Every structure is written in structure tokens, then in C-alpha cells.
């Protein structure tokens, strides 16, 4: 790979090619009957997952008397359906998403020639580390869930049917309801293991692809907005460096004003509007996917903790319950990361977007000519008219405050369910 080219992007080209994200968004990728080969594979995988979820209403009814199995199965189906919905949208809007990803290129804002490259490198380093850690962590879930049925291959899962009888299934990856008898399920165990293994790999892969796209675009928007704010804030000042230290905190601005031309501000405003346009396009595409994900991830947190409490409080096969709890807790970091990173990145975008007003005020506008002062006032009014933000409701903005409130709500519901279960057991 060309290292110099890699430095122009916030994200790692090697990583996005490794996970297939580059190929999904590449319009020149290998085609099958005129369609992107990766799009065809993604759609076929989505059809496969959907086919597995088709018996879900019968499964929820069949296991309605077993609260543990019901909650677990309901959580699985909900996450599978949401993943299919997200990936179908990724394929459908692949061309628009590819244009949004272009904002992760440093040369995207180039009208003004004195942007601070150190900010870009800071975000590039942060994004590369987070992406690699996330991909490695989530990929390990495949190993954990694939080998879990083989830890104790004779472990049986006992489920209470709707008629009050009990059925025993050999522990599998998910033990999905596939409209077969327990005897047939246990007799053809390897066939159903293969079916669920394909389901697991597809689900985890889709989670990685969607989350990496989200992290890249959100980080790029935040980075470009921060670079623009820095350029506006230093407008009319001369930046100088103390000593030979490359640390950004060693950079200071002299109070002495330099004679800036009015078109410097115009160029910065032009770049700012280009970033805002990409931001609006991004919101239009992803809003319909982000809000259901926040709701589903929050519900999944509650379901995981509730099932874990059920496994430790009810009597039965302690080995099977322990393995299920380990599997669920191994998936908890992925869902926590999704909720936290979504709230953190969108909140940071809002902060950087709103900080342009303070940056304009912090510039050396008092030493500028009247025409430039008018342009600054116009830029402030223009930014105030653009109130586009990712909102969960009309008044609830997606930010870190939402993350903490969601976690508190999950804990409150979890505590309520545990107390109810404890009283019922007693």
C-alpha cells in the first residue's frame, strides 16, 4: 500500500479493505450481472438471516411459558432484523455513503491554505486505534460463540413449551427455533450448528461494517469541523511555536494582528458550508438507522442482565446457565461500545458545530476592516439558522447525556425485574 496515500485519509485503507467495506462502497468493484459482487453477497446474507427469523412469531409463542428462553429469543430476533435493515440501507445508499466518506480525506477542505495539519493527524491516530481495537474485539465474539457448544458437548438446554411440557435441546450457538422437534434437532445437530454458525458470522460481520462506517464518517465530520474552528479562531493572528517541541499545546498566537485579506474568511466559510452539507446528507441517510439502533441496544442491555440474573437465581443445569451467561457477557462490550460511541460522536459533532460562533468571536476581528466584520456577522447568523442535529425525539438530542440516561434507565428496569423475579421465586 502507498503510505503517502494512506496519510491523506483519517481511516486505515488496509483495514477497510480487509473487512470488505472498501469493496462494498467501490463502484468499480467486480460485478455479477451488472451488480456489485459484495452487494449481491450482502443481500443474499440478509435474505438468509430473514429466512431464519421467519418462524420467530411461532417460536415466541411456543416458548412463551419459559421467560428465560422467550427474552433471549426475542433479543436475538430483534437484533437480527435490525442488522438486516441497516445493511439493506447501506447497499441501497452505497453511492451516497461513498460520497459522505470522502469527507475523511484531508484535501476535502482546501479553499483555505493554512489549516492545522496536526489536528488531522491527531484524529487519524485516534480513529485508527479505535477501529482496530473494535474489529479485533468484536471478531473474537465469533470464536467465543462458535466454541461454546463444544466446551461441554453433552450439555442440554431445557425449555418449557407452551403446553407446559419440557423439551431438551443440545446446546448450540443460539438454539434458534426452526420448527423442528427436539429429537430431530438433536439427531441432526451438526446441520443446525452449521446453519447457526453462518448466521453468527453474517451478523458479526454486518455489525463491524456498519459501526466502522459510522465511526469513520462521524470522526471525519468532527475532525473537519475542529480544523475549521481552529482556522477561524486564529484568523487575524500569527501563530508561533515555542522551542522545538511539536506538541500542539506549545503553539501560541501572538496578539499582533497580521493583515489578512477578506477572501481568507470567505474561503473558510466556503469549506465550512461544504462540511455542513455532508453533515446534512449523512443525517438524512443514517437517521432512520441510528435511532432504532439506540433503542435496540438499550433493550439488549436490559435483556442480557435480566437473563443473567435468571440463570443465577433459578434452579436447573448450572453448567448450561453459566455458559449462556458467559456468551451474553462476552457480547456486552460490543453493545456498550455501540451505544457509547454513537452518543459520544454525535454529541462531539454538535459541540464542534456550535463552537464556530465562539471561534468567530475569538478571531482578531477588532483589527479587521468593516467588510470582513460584516462577513463574520453573516457567518454567525448563517450558522445559527442551521440547527440540524441527531435527535431521538423532538427534544432529546443524541449525546453523552443520553448515554448516561439510557444506562440509568437500563439499570432501573433491570433492578425492577430482578426484584420481581426474586419475589416470585420466594
The pLDDT tens digits of the residues spanning 279-309 come to 999 999 999 999 899 989 988 988 888 887 7
Range of the domain at 127: 3-425
Q: How many domains does the chain have?
A: 1
Residue 85 in this model has a pLDDT that exceeds 90: yes
The pLDDT value recorded for residue 418 is 67
Q: pLDDT tens digits for 334-343?
A: 999 999 999 9
Which three three-digit cell numbers place residue 187? 439427531
The pLDDT value recorded for residue 86 is 95
What's the whole-number mean pLDDT along residues 399-409? 82
d(CA 367, CA 258): 9
pLDDT band of 53, cuts 50, 70, 90? very high
What's the whole-number mean pLDDT along residues 211-231? 92
Q: pLDDT tens digits for 348-400?
A: 998 888 888 777 777 766 677 677 777 777 777 776 666 677 777 777 788 88
d(CA 198, CA 200): 5
Residue 18 in this model has a pLDDT that exceeds 60: yes
The pLDDT value recorded for residue 401 is 84
What's the whole-number mean pLDDT along residues 86-93? 95
Which residues are bridge partners to 237 per DSSP? 257
Give the residue with greater pLDDT, 409 vs 1.
409
pLDDT band of 420, cuts 50, 70, 90? low
Residue 238 in this model has a pLDDT that exceeds 70: no
As a whole number, the mean pLDDT across the chain is 82
pLDDT band of 258, cuts 50, 70, 90? very low
pLDDT band of 237, cuts 50, 70, 90? low
Amino acid at each position: 500500500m502507498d503510505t503517502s496515500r494512506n496519510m491523506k485519509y483519517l481511516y486505515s485503507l488496509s483495514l477497510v479493505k480487509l473487512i470488505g467495506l472498501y469493496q462494498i462502497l467501490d463502484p468499480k468493484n467486480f460485478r455479477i450481472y451488472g451488480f456489485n459482487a459484495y452487494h449481491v453477497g450482502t443481500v443474499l446474507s440478509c435474505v438468509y438471516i430473514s429466512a431464519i427469523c421467519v418462524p420467530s412469531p411461532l417460536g415466541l409463542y411456543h416458548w412463551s411459558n419459559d421467560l428465560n428462553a422467550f427474552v433471549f429469543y426475542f433479543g436475538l430476533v430483534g437484533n437480527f432484523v435490525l442488522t438486516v435493515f441497516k445493511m439493506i440501507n447501506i447497499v441501497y445508499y452505497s453511492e451516497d455513503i461513498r460520497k459522505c466518506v470522502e469527507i475523511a480525506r484531508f484535501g476535502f477542505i482546501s479553499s483555505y491554505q493554512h489549516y492545522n495539519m496536526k489536528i488531522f493527524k491527531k484524529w487519524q491516530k485516534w480513529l485508527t486505534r479505535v477501529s482496530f481495537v473494535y474489529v479485533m474485539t468484536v471478531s473474537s465474539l465469533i470464536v467465543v460463540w462458535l466454541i461454546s457448544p463444544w466446551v461441554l458437548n453433552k450439555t442440554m438446554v431445557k425449555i418449557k413449551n407452551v403446553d407446559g411440557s419440557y423439551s431438551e435441546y443440545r446446546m448450540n450457538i443460539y438454539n434458534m427455533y426452526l420448527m423442528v422437534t427436539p429429537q430431530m434437532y438433536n439427531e441432526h445437530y451438526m446441520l443446525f450448528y452449521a446453519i447457526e454458525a453462518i448466521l453468527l458470522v453474517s451478523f458479526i460481520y454486518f455489525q463491524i461494517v456498519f459501526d466502522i462506517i459510522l465511526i469513520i464518517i462521524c470522526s471525519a465530520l468532527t475532525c473537519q469541523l475542529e480544523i475549521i474552528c481552529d482556522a477561524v479562531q486564529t484568523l487575524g493572528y500569527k501563530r508561533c511555536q515555542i522551542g522545538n517541541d511539536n506538541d500542539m499545546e506549545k503553539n501560541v498566537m501572538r496578539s499582533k494582528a497580521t493583515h489578512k485579506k477578506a477572501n481568507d474568511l470567505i474561503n473558510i466559510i466556503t469549506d465550512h458550508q461544504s462540511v455542513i452539507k455532508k453533515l446534512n446528507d449523512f443525517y438524512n441517510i443514517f437517521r432512520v438507522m441510528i435511532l432504532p439502533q439506540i433503542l435496540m441496544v438499550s433493550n439488549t442491555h436490559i435483556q442480557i442482565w435480566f437473563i443473567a440474573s435468571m440463570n443465577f437465581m433459578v434452579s436447573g443445569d448450572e453448567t448450561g446457565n453459566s455458559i449462556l451467561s458467559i456468551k451474553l457477557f462476552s457480547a456486552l462490550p460490543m453493545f456498550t461500545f455501540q451505544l457509547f460511541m454513537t452518543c459520544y460522536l454525535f454529541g462531539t459533532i454538535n459541540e464542534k458545530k456550535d463552537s464556530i460562533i465562539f471561534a468567530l468571536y475569538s478571531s482578531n476581528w477588532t483589527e479587521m476592516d468593516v467588510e470582513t466584520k460584516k462577513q463574520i456577522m453573516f457567518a454567525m447568523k448563517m450558522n445559527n439558522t442551521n440547527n440540524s442535529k441527531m435527535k431521538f425525539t423532538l427534544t432529546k438530542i443524541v449525546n453523552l447525556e443520553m448515554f448516561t440516561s439510557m444506562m440509568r434507565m437500563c439499570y432501573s428496569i433491570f433492578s425492577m425485574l430482578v426484584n420481581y423475579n426474586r419475589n416470585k421465586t420466594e
